[in-house]
Amino acid sequence: MIKKAEAVVLKTLNHGDTSKIITLYSKESGRLKLIAKGVRSPKSKSVGLFQPTRHLQVIYYSKSNSELQLFKAGELIDGFFGLENDFDRLTLAQVVVELLDRSLEDEEPHQALFDLLVNTLKRLSEPSTITANSYWYFHLQLLKELGFRPHIQHCSICQSVLEEGASIGRGVTSLECVKCHQPNKGSTFVSREVLLAMQNILDSDWDSVGEIKLNSLERRSLWDYMWRYTFHHIETTRGMKSLKVLQQLYG
């Protein structure tokens, strides 16, 4: 059966001498794996089409009893070429697609996740966009859509409102108020300003993201909390290749 899908390239793997196996996230089918035969040949019309982050329209032959479908034709919708002019933006975009790929547990479509992915890549490719803020929005909204929304308003022990910030200890991701938390070597403090910023991101739309202002220490604690929380709830995200480059930028 011939099918059509709107999709974003998440990753590729060389196969044989001239082919590629492409993992995409599609609007119609969720995660989708295609084998594109001969696509690495200089004579291929699709050469260069399957770069991670590319937004495509693809036509493929679908077999219900196979996880690997056969690519027939493709057309570029948006290459997000603005990413290629800025190393920071490109790095964040690579983290976006790898994080999504490692977070997916099934092949089912998810319209909100697809829209979040496309909108994030579009915004990261625009020079006027604040890169870190846009990434934070993607990361926290992804957790929310996957059912892992962080609980950042109340202490996990006494349930009091976190008016003075909170801390997380080694091996845990639940937030504890300054009265309940027992400091240890692995403790990380998250200020009230950071908690409010995350709450704003989780409950608002894209338009409010640019208004978030944090100093360098606050930004670092937000990064630390997001990744500790993500590693705890989605263990497949550990060891991400793109994260090593991200840590050099924001570590």
Residue 9 pLDDT more than 90? yes
Q: What's the pLDDT score for residue 155? A: 94
- Do 164 and 46 have their domain in common? no
Q: What's the pLDDT score for residue 250? A: 66
Confidence class for position 247, pLDDT limits 50, 70, 90 = confident
The average pLDDT across 227-240 equals 93
Which of the two residues, 160 and 67, has the higher pLDDT score?
Answer: 160
Percent of the chain whose pLDDT exceeds 70? 99
- Do 67 and 126 have their domain in common? no
Are 83 and 51 a contacting pair, CB within 8 Å?
no
Q: Which of 112, 8, 110 is nearest to 57 (CA)?
A: 8
**Which range has the worst mean pLDDT, 45-59, 106-120, 133-147, 225-239?**
45-59
Q: Which amino acid is at 58?
A: V
Domain count, the chain: 2
Residue in the structure block whose two tokens are 């989780």: 202
Last residue of a domain, one of 32, 59, 78: 78
Percent of the chain whose pLDDT exceeds 90? 66
- Do 146 and 168 have their domain in common? yes
Rounded-to-integer distance, Cα 205 and Cα 69, Å: 36
Last residue of a domain, one of 57, 78, 99: 78
Q: What's the pLDDT score for residue 251? A: 55
Share the mean pLDDT of the chain.
Answer: 90
Q: What's the pLDDT score for residue 226? A: 94
104: alpha, beta or left? (left if phi > 0; alpha if psi -120 to 50): beta
Last residue of a domain, one of 78, 98, 121: 78
Rounded-to-integer distance, Cα 195 and Cα 226, Å: 11
Note the pLDDT tens digit of each residue in 176-221.
999 999 888 778 899 999 999 999 999 988 888 878 899 999 999 9
Whole-prediction pTM: 0.92
Q: Indicate which CATH number applies to the domain containing 31.
A: 2.40.50.140
The average pLDDT across 215-232 equals 92
**Which range has the worst mean pLDDT, 129-133, 166-170, 229-233, 234-238?**
166-170
Q: Indicate which CATH number applies to the domain containing 178.
A: 1.20.1440.120
Q: Is 200 helix (H, G, I), strand (E, B) or coil?
A: helix
The β-bridge relationship of strands 30-36 and 19-26 is: antiparallel
Note the pLDDT tens digit of each residue in 21-73.
999 999 999 999 999 988 788 777 777 789 999 999 999 998 888 889 989 99
Q: What's the pLDDT score for residue 121? A: 97
- Do 101 and 225 have their domain in common? yes
For 10, the domain range is 2-78
